Structure 1
């Protein structure tokens, strides 16, 4: 059963070594993520599951590792309580492993990468399955909102992006599983919202769990929607 979840964005700049001179710009986001992960761990899960976007569907159950070498930073991370065998963690899951490492997490941890074109029904079903993996499951969900919030955003400006992100922020803050389940994959893809599939995994996992939500952060500092939320 799902007992708690933390929702965090996954920009590489969240890692100070990657951000370098710009690290201070995301200090507020970094602090909000730390608080959300801390609350997740304090809920006492016996199993953690990271969920984030990736180029293909992959699962890590015996540990896993990622690195920030692609950004010119000689820094590696690994999932808690496991080895380093298997494929490298996706960039989103690597951020999740980094957040858990900062928090000192030592629980058994699995990870799931989900592709951006996965259907909502499939993601909801995956979430329901994850919630049944243990009596007390905690999710760390990694994903960004629209990357089309401003003209300087990675995907340039789309007038629909602000309204889309506002609804995501509302749903995450209210633990509104129905609203997350209803996010349109087509529109989400057009708006470059990489978090859509992971958020729908969360929606499936939280069905019937009676969790309440708290929105900790909702801004778009680089034209990309970043959200931090706690469900408990």
Structure 2
């Protein structure tokens, strides 16, 4: 059963070494992510599943100890998802899960075993929701760390240029995540999310499936678009 969830954005810029001189611009987001992860620790889960966008068309699992790197972003920073299990996983973590691993390392997470799940942008809502249900049924006390960005079309200089639909879309997402509104997350329009380059749609709908019947309440901890990309941090408990 799902006992808690943290929702965080996944730009590699959250890692200060990647952000370099722009690092302070995301200090508030980093602090909010730390607060969200503290809610997970307080819930004392038996298992933590990290869910984030990946390039797979469906979904791909990553065991505890899986490694990721930010070398592709020009910095010599490596991360590991949870404890080192003494084996070398076949596949590296996708960037979203590497950011999650960095967040967990930076907050000293040792509260429960961790595993990762990368979900592809095309994964249909119904499948996302069923994946979430399966995760929630996998242990008596499950927590989720859900990674994903809102639209990338908030300004003229945004990666997806300016789209007038972006701000209302992001506001609706922030309301749903802040209120733990499972029904609103279930009905997010996948086509619109894709057009707005919102990488969090599939992970948020996995969360919606996992949270069915859990009776969790939500809190919105951060919402901004400092680079024309919507970043939302929320905690459910």
Pairing of 1:175-194 with structure 2 (within 5 A) = 175-194=180-199
Pairing of 1:1-232 with structure 2 (within 5 A) = 1-56=1-56, 57-83=59-85, 84-106=88-110, 107-232=112-237
Aligned to 2:144, what secondary structure does the other structure show? strand
Give the gaps of 5 or more residues in structure 1. Answer: none
Distance in 2 between the 1:207 and 1:82 partners?
A: 32
Q: Which runs of 4+ in 1 moved over 4 A?
A: none
Aligned to 1:186, what secondary structure does the other structure show? helix
Aligned to 2:209, what secondary structure does the other structure show? helix
TM-score between the two structures when normalised by the length of structure 2: 0.96
Distance in 2 between the 1:62 and 1:21 partners?
A: 32
Distance in 2 between the 1:167 and 1:183 partners?
A: 9
Distance in 2 between the 1:44 and 1:68 partners?
A: 30
Quick check: 2:64–2:81 contact (8 Å CA) kept in 1? Answer: no
TM-score between the two structures when normalised by the length of structure 1: 0.98
Quick check: 1:82–1:109 contact (8 Å CA) kept in 2? Answer: no
Distance in 2 between the 1:91 and 1:149 partners?
A: 22
Q: Aligned-pair distance for 1:42?
A: 1.4
Q: Aligned-pair distance for 1:46?
A: 1.0
Give the gaps of 5 or more residues in structure 2. Answer: none
Aligned to 2:76, what secondary structure does the other structure show? coil
Quick check: 1:82–1:108 contact (8 Å CA) kept in 2? Answer: no
Task: For residues 114-145 of structure 1, give each alpha carbon's deviation from its aligned partner in whole angstroms, at most 9, with x where no partner exists.
Answer: 00011000000000000011101010000000
Quick check: 1:218–1:226 contact (8 Å CA) kept in 2? Answer: yes
Distance in 2 between the 1:184 and 1:128 partners?
A: 20
